[in-house]
Structure 1
Amino acid sequence: MIPLSVLDLSFVSSDSTPAQALHDTLALARHVDTLGYRRYWLAEHHALPNVASPAPEIMIGQIAAATRTLRVGSGGIMLPNHAPLMVAERFRVLEALFPDRIDLGIGRAPGTDGVTARALRRREAPSGNGGDDFLDRLQELLFWDGGFPEGHPFGQIQATPAGVALPPLFLLGSSDYSAQLAAQIGAGFAFAQHFSGIPAEGPMRAYRQMFKPSRLGAEPHAILAVAAICAETDAEAERLASSARLSTLRRERGEYRPLPSLAEALEYPYSPSEQARIERGRDRLHVGSPATLRPHLTALAESVQADELMIVTAIPDQTARHDSYRLLAA
């Protein structure tokens, strides 16, 4: 059976608060820790009213301390927002405190809008790559772990805590770019099928076919991140999915509002064009009972050669959300 993991954005619902969303994350992590889930990853987003997850490294420590068996990691650290040395040291600290339980997932996007990205980076002059210095930052991060070339100006700096290696590295992506880069450096790869505009099969298979073993990894490890909602019956799962579907519709219009309550979503008067957009997005939100989702998700994982499935579930009712993960695990 393919392993299951969790991706958590700490969704803020219309009938709750961002602070409560963080406590809900801790409660969900404790819950899935008892269900056999393999990983629990936290996202990084900034200045979004529907997501309360700007600092995954803080939540990783909290969740690792509150659970026993989960691997806990970032899904991901948005490297353009951070100095590579800070990332290296923070994740060395986590690895020292929770050995062999931490993952370092790295993303290329800023996880926010352009103005907020500028506030995070404080850059006045663009790099020589049109402002995209992701490759430079990634290379520097790897140097902090493996050592700088002779003569490098940072070569005399000791990243702390000394003697602790970085956790396993994964590159995150929704296109071919990160898949090919992850394969080239021998890192793990996680494909975001839940919001990608392209099918997962191409990037996932390309990653496996192009993988080059390195000190980062001897074999490829591909994770498929999917949005899924499970309930006892297909009808109940469809009812619960109404909040996520309305939220997605709003996000596509540039409206980053809190996750609507179930009552609000069920009463929303969809226009014909809006309903058509919902129908077109059904392949990115997997909904149903255990009997429906088990063969569907198994076939999906096999078709893209995924080593594990990482589930993101947006349900405002936390009891129903916990039940969804329980049913998926069972």
Structure 2
Amino acid sequence: MIPLSVLDLSFVTSDSTPAQALHDTLALARHVDGLGYRRYWLAEHHALPNVASPAPEIMIGQIAAATTHLRVGSGGIMLPNHAPLMVAERFRVLEALFPGRIDLGIGRAPGTDGVTARALRRREAPSGNGGDDFLDRLQELLFWDQGFPEGHPFGEIQASPAGVSLPPLHLLGSSDYSAQLAAQIGAGFAFAQHFAGMPPDGPMRAYRDLFRPTRLGTEPHAILAVAAICAATDAEAERLAASARLSTLRRERGEYRPLPSLQEALDYPHSPTERARIEQGRDKLHVGAPDTLRARLGALAESVGADELMIVTAIPDRSARHESYRLLAQGWGIAS
């Protein structure tokens, strides 16, 4: 079976605080470190009451220091929010401290609403690109690692710490755009199936078909990020999934509330329309016992040509969330 990894958004639950969510992230990382998972990635989101993950580069250092086996990275750094030099230097520092264990995942979305995005950026992108300067920033980030062209005004600046390269680069996306761009520059690619508005088949296929070897990478590496909940039985997994499903319904209405408790979700009076929406969304939340998920996720990974699956699990109960990752690893055959 292909490797499994973890994507953690530091979920805030209805009975916890954002600060507790960060401590829960550290606890989960320690828990999965010995379970055979390959990577542990942290997301970047701002001004959202349901997640506590605005600074993945800080959490990466904390998690890498607290674990032994995991590669730790960003899923991802939202590049339009940051100066490329700052990203280059922060991830060089992480690579220097934890050589061979850091990943740099890059995204082009703001990870927040429009007003907060403007507060983060404090300057407008060039109007000639429709306000999107992601490609300019990505090119500059690569220049900080590979060297600027002769005559570039930044050419004499030395990114610190000197002598340390950027960690492996992955582009994140939920459409064809990032897939094609990752292929063109030779980077890894991670597709967010858990919230994408399109199936993963097309972007994953485009990434492989268009991949060109470069200094960034000689072979394509496609990660499929999926939402999954595992329990001892299919019925118990379905019960635990009630919180994630209610949270998704609220998010689709623009309500970014903390992850509801299981009892709140089970007691919620779903309308017929909401129940129909839950049924329509079952392909984006994979639920079941270990054998059920092994069969379902294995078939999905094979059908889209994924080299790796990255699992995000939204369960408000911390022990049940830990157990979900343990049972999935056991069923997958990676747990030692």
TM-score by length of 2: 0.98
Q: Does 1:135 align with 2:135?
A: yes
Q: Is the 8 A contact 2:71 2:103 kept in 1?
A: yes
SS of residue paired to 1:180? helix
For residues 243 and 230 of structure 1, what CA distance do their matches in structure 2 show?
A: 14
Q: Does 1:76 align with 2:65?
A: no
Q: Hey, what does 2:18 align to over in structure 1?
A: 18
* 119-128 or 46-55, larger mean C-alpha shift: 119-128
Q: 1:191 to 1:213 in 2, by over 3 A?
A: same
Q: Is the 8 A contact 2:108 2:134 kept in 1?
A: yes
SS of residue paired to 2:310? strand
Q: Hey, what does 1:111 align to over in structure 2?
A: 111
SS of residue paired to 1:278? helix
For residues 293 and 257 of structure 1, what CA distance do their matches in structure 2 show?
A: 28
Paired amino acid for 1:140: E
Residues 139-195 of structure 1 show CA distances to partners (whole Å, capped at 9, x for unaligned) of 000000000000000001000000000000000000000000000000000000000
Residues 14-54 of structure 1 show CA distances to partners (whole Å, capped at 9, x for unaligned) of 01110000000000000100101000000000000000000
Q: Is the 8 A contact 1:127 1:133 kept in 2?
A: no
Deviation at 1:127, TM superposition (A): 3.5
For residues 124 and 318 of structure 2, what CA distance do their matches in structure 1 show?
A: 43
For residues 290 and 87 of structure 1, what CA distance do their matches in structure 2 show?
A: 38
For residues 125 and 146 of structure 2, what CA distance do their matches in structure 1 show?
A: 29
Alignment map for 1:1-330 (pairs within 5 Å): 1-124=1-124, 126-330=126-330
Paired amino acid for 2:268: Y
Where structure 2 has 5 or more consecutive residues not aligned to the other structure, the ranges are 331-336
Deviation at 1:291, TM superposition (A): 1.5
Q: Is the 8 A contact 2:125 2:133 kept in 1?
A: no
* 105-114 or 118-127, larger mean C-alpha shift: 118-127
SS of residue paired to 2:128? coil
SS of residue paired to 2:226? strand
Deviation at 1:327, TM superposition (A): 0.7
Q: 1:286 to 1:125 in 2, by over 3 A?
A: closer
For residues 82 and 268 of structure 1, what CA distance do their matches in structure 2 show?
A: 40
SS of residue paired to 1:96? helix
Q: 1:124 to 1:175 in 2, by over 3 A?
A: closer
Q: Is the 8 A contact 1:227 1:312 kept in 2?
A: yes
Paired amino acid for 1:293: L
Deviation at 1:123, TM superposition (A): 1.3
Deviation at 1:126, TM superposition (A): 4.2
SS of residue paired to 1:7? strand
Q: Is the 8 A contact 2:6 2:311 kept in 1?
A: yes
Residues 194-227 of structure 1 show CA distances to partners (whole Å, capped at 9, x for unaligned) of 0001110110011011100000001000000000
TM-score by length of 1: 0.99
Deviation at 1:262, TM superposition (A): 0.3
Paired amino acid for 1:209: D
Deviation beyond 3 Å, 4+ runs, structure 1: 124-127
SS of residue paired to 2:129? coil
SS of residue paired to 2:229? strand
**Alignment coverage as a number of residue pairs:** 330
Q: 1:291 to 1:186 in 2, by over 3 A?
A: same
Paired amino acid for 2:70: L
Where structure 1 has 5 or more consecutive residues not aligned to the other structure, the ranges are none
Identity %: 88
SS of residue paired to 2:158? coil
Residues 287-316 of structure 1 show CA distances to partners (whole Å, capped at 9, x for unaligned) of 000121111100000001100000000000
Paired amino acid for 2:302: E
For residues 96 and 293 of structure 1, what CA distance do their matches in structure 2 show?
A: 37
SS of residue paired to 1:128? helix
For residues 108 and 11 of structure 1, what CA distance do their matches in structure 2 show?
A: 22
For residues 328 and 63 of structure 2, what CA distance do their matches in structure 1 show?
A: 21
SS of residue paired to 2:7? strand
Q: Is the 8 A contact 2:125 2:132 kept in 1?
A: no
For residues 106 and 275 of structure 1, what CA distance do their matches in structure 2 show?
A: 35
Deviation at 1:92, TM superposition (A): 0.1
